[in-house]
Structure 1
Amino acid sequence: MEPLIFVVRHAEAEHNVIMDFSQRDPPLTLKGFDQASHLAKTFPEPSSISVVLTSPLKRALQTTLKGFSQVLALDSVGEDGQHGAARLLVDRDLQETSDLPCDTGSDRDILEKLFPNIDLTTLDKDWFIKTSMYAADEKAVILRAKTFRKKLWNIAKSVQSDQSSSSSQRAIVVVTHSAFMQYLSQDMNLNLPQAGWNSFRIQEKPDGEIVLLST
């Protein structure tokens, strides 16, 4: 069976409170850090997590570290990470949909200073520019979500076939944003609370389209 996919919304960020969308890439609030800490304590069977994928925006990275650091293989624990630890992948495909400053990511060198234990080499120098597949129009967002589902399918198949993984380490976590997760799940009614999550099964339809099915 394909791995279970957990889609997680980031915790409360500053723009969620003051409603100032002109602040570029706002971080979590103190309440947001508390929400992420609660996520770490309540997330079901964290030992089952094999891979964590996260948006590169600060609020998502902070949610990921606070909520899942206990299971992640980070640079600080050694070259190979802790035994059996989950891989952390930063993916620009998971950024939010709008081109407002609050949904525009930071320069990579800024993120590298803030998150020295996270591998950010997947991000180009200009990764945050909202053009092409990353533009703020719906057609581009739909394409980006479709592209990521295909990528997620390939990761899921890799996890499923990896003989080095324990049979219990089969879950994949995706930390993203409230609007993008609706396109990712193809469910425009999906409305998770801050630091909330929903679980899905990933399937390939006869026509080759990859879909997420809520469990």
Structure 2
Amino acid sequence: MQGRIHLARHAEGLHNLRNDPTIPNAPLSERGFDFAEGLGHRFIREYSNSVGAIISSPLRRAIQTSLTAFHRILDSTQYPKNSGSGVNNGVMLALDANLQEIADLPSNNGSTPNDLIIEFPELKSEIEKLHEDWHVKTGHRSPLPQSLRQRKAEILQRLQKTLSDLQNEPMGDDIVVVTHQGVIALLAPTANIPVGHWQTFRLVRENGLLSLE
């Protein structure tokens, strides 16, 4: 049987705390970092050796959640030197622009790849894989799918490919997906995942279509 999909919602963002969607590319609040650390402790108790891939939205609060929550799983090369975080030969954090929040608000609009590299230099190799306009949500410059249906299909196709790739790897075969409420509603409409929590699914194919259940 293929691995599971752990759909995680980022921890509390500053825009959540202040109820202010005008904060550009909103980071985690101070309490949000604590929530992310708690997420990691709870998660690792249940799935300590099962994760083979972690894929995150490139928005700041999702990256911060991933690095804070999963430092017991992620590879040490993706942490600042001498931080004491990460593990040798751990899982590499991957970024996927399709996982960014859907609504076109300042808090949901990402940074350019160059700005992300300045903020997260240890993720440079992953950030460089992003389209230079990954953060542009609408208009002719946007590289995002033209419909939410297509976006959902692309996310699920990537998850299917990742699950297939993990079957040939010696590590775990579960995938953690760190994303936002809008994307969670797109992928799993009946899910109710608070900030800093996750829910576990299986990827299934019915009548030729992929879905989470």
TM range (shorter): 0.7 to 0.9
2:2 alignment counterpart: 2
Matching of residues 124-139 of structure 1 within 5 Å = 124-131=131-138, 134=144
Cα deviation for residue 70 of structure 1 reads 1.5
Query: Over aligned residues, Cα RMSD in angstroms?
Result: 1.8
Q: Does 1:71 align with 2:76?
A: no
Contact 1:146-1:184 within 8 A present in 2 as well: no
Q: Does 1:175 align with 2:182?
A: no
Contact 1:12-1:32 within 8 A present in 2 as well: yes
Q: Does 1:111 align with 2:116?
A: yes
Cα deviation for residue 208 of structure 1 reads 2.0
* Aligned counterparts of 2:134 and 2:155: Cα–Cα separation in 1: 16
Residues 13 and 108 of structure 1, relative CA distance in 2, 3 Å threshold: same
* Unpaired stretches in structure 1, ≥5 consecutive residues: none
* Aligned counterparts of 2:58 and 2:194: Cα–Cα separation in 1: 20
Contact 2:136-2:143 within 8 A present in 1 as well: no
Identity over aligned pairs, percent: 32
1:122 alignment counterpart: 129
SS state of the match for residue 115, structure 2?
Answer: helix
Matching of residues 199-214 of structure 1 within 5 Å = 199-205=200-206, 207-213=207-213
TM-score, with length taken from structure 2: 0.87
Contact 1:23-1:101 within 8 A present in 2 as well: yes
Contact 1:133-1:144 within 8 A present in 2 as well: no
2:26 alignment counterpart: 26
2:51 alignment counterpart: 49
Q: Does 1:193 align with 2:197?
A: no
Contact 2:131-2:143 within 8 A present in 1 as well: no
Q: Does 1:148 align with 2:148?
A: no
Q: How many residues align?
A: 199
Q: Does 1:95 align with 2:100?
A: yes
1:38 alignment counterpart: 38
* Aligned counterparts of 1:56 and 1:76: Cα–Cα separation in 2: 14
2:61 alignment counterpart: 59
Contact 1:133-1:141 within 8 A present in 2 as well: no
Q: Does 1:86 align with 2:91?
A: yes
* Aligned counterparts of 1:184 and 1:47: Cα–Cα separation in 2: 25
